[in-house]
Homo-oligomer: A and B are copies of this chain.
């Protein structure tokens, strides 16, 4: 495989030559029903990716196909699936795809078949979840568990929380919901205190998640919770399972009901389809729902192997994002799901994207001289319309938009007002926004003038069910991976989080040796040790 910086490729030069056409792309003429019907790529789980409202014509698409070929996106993806060391800095394989199915060769690591290992853990926590849901594993006082509380931060929190919220109403509607899930993440003691006070601890099982078993926030919150359990007369060991790596201090520890394992080849932000997401989702909704979620993701992973960019939604999304980031020079992008169930999905994508590609050096540690990962933010529509859309429509910067919408809601509980149900109003708003952003509106009063030319894409499907959610998640994971290949980055490490950890320890030890740290500590009332 050939790893070269993006600005050293022939495609970089070619795309630069096409920039004037991209800047003058006129949606008010080009965005018609024919383009909307044609500009679609299939996704897994019954979803489709529609990119009609992107400023890309035939020459740009052709150059993007050349870029995909030149940077060997599919070759590198296949190498990753086959278990090559793609996280080069940390010298690790990248195996989250293997959690949901085999798309590459058998991966053997130190004599262990990792596909089998992941399946075995899936089977183990599925069985555990079934027993809890059946009331066969019970708490100290003999009561069944009604609540599951995840203790974790970052990838052990954002993804699982977003997935739980995304499926909660679907599971209620379909009779799958058994346990309520809660999440403790922040080291701010108000977080753990409030969650612990909101549940009956005797009916609660905690899921402690830390791959390394050394995450400061998570260990503090574990002891916080154990203290509460003990004070309530309960045995902590009967109310907690661990999700960790086999080499962590939490592994095979009799202090927990059971432990389920991942390994160093499952990055935190890519761990929703591992035990990190699997235990809590299986407890809440059952292993079958989690299995359907994995199936959707696996189907998406297979579609992502397609070499024709027009048939590969993840690659196409990645390339259009590169076109907007590096050539049209848009520094941020907004994710706008028209589904209340996806209320925290943008927060998960924020981590997924910004932690993966928020890098300034290439995979060999040399500084790059082009922009990499953008700022990602978002809130559900229609809420965002009454908030930050003003800037999206009429601000001085252009921000590309990722819309998501579904024909049906999840709860099948709706009311007709003024001739339409709320679901129709929701989608009418979505449709209207795409057109308004792209086409704008002329007006003699410049205050009421909409310049248009604000690009978007739309992921749409019938309903947000487990398979559709798995597809959606894997789409973005793979999109981010492909962008990392284009930018020649290592999307799988996060060295940028280390300095803060080191300085925090110095502050807590009271020996920072830095007058700035001492002065700020004084402002925040930190007493010196």
Contacts and interface: CB of A to CB of B under 8 A. Distances in A.
Interface residues of A, number: 156
Nearest to A464: B190
A336 to B, nearest CB: 12
B188 A426 contact: yes
A473 to B, nearest CB: 16
A205 to B, nearest CB: 20
Nearest to A352: B387
A392 to B, nearest CB: 7
A411 interface: yes
Nearest to A367: B446
Pairs of residues from A and B, 5 with the lowest C-beta to C-beta distance, nearest first? A358-B391, A154-B386, A407-B525, A432-B503, A351-B387
A365 to B, nearest CB: 4
A347 B339 CA distance: 17
Nearest to A408: B525
B186 A389 contact: no
B496 A390 contact: yes
A306 interface: no
Give the copy number. Answer: 2
B441 A220 contact: no
15 contacts: A36-B519, A154-B385, A158-B387, A189-B421, A220-B422, A223-B415, A269-B387, A332-B332, A347-B387, A389-B496, A431-B526, A432-B502, A432-B517, A435-B514, A435-B516
Contact of A458 (B227, B418, B517, B520): B520
Contacts of A529: 419
B499 A450 contact: yes
A479 B390 CA distance: 18
B189 A415 contact: yes
Interface in A423-441: 423-436, 438-441
Interface-centre pick from A385, A445, A518 (highest chain B CB count, 10 A): A385
A10 interface: no
B380 A186 contact: yes
Given A154-B383, A185-B383, A371-B397, 13 more contacts: A32-B515, A169-B193, A187-B429, A190-B340, A220-B422, A351-B386, A351-B387, A360-B396, A361-B447, A373-B395, A386-B497, A438-B516, A439-B516
Interface in A26-69: 31-33, 36-37, 48, 50, 52
Interface-centre pick from A188, A399, A434, A503 (highest chain B CB count, 10 A): A188
Interface-centre pick from A219, A395, A498 (highest chain B CB count, 10 A): A395
Given A425-B220, A523-B36, A399 B375 contact: yes
A497 to B, nearest CB: 6
A380 B417 CA distance: 38
A414 B376 CA distance: 34
Contact of A394 (B358, B386, B418): B358
Contacts of A434: 516, 520
A174 interface: no
Contact of A516 (B31, B216, B355): B31
A429 to B, nearest CB: 5
A512 to B, nearest CB: 8
A332 B386 contact: no
Contacts of A358: 388, 390-395
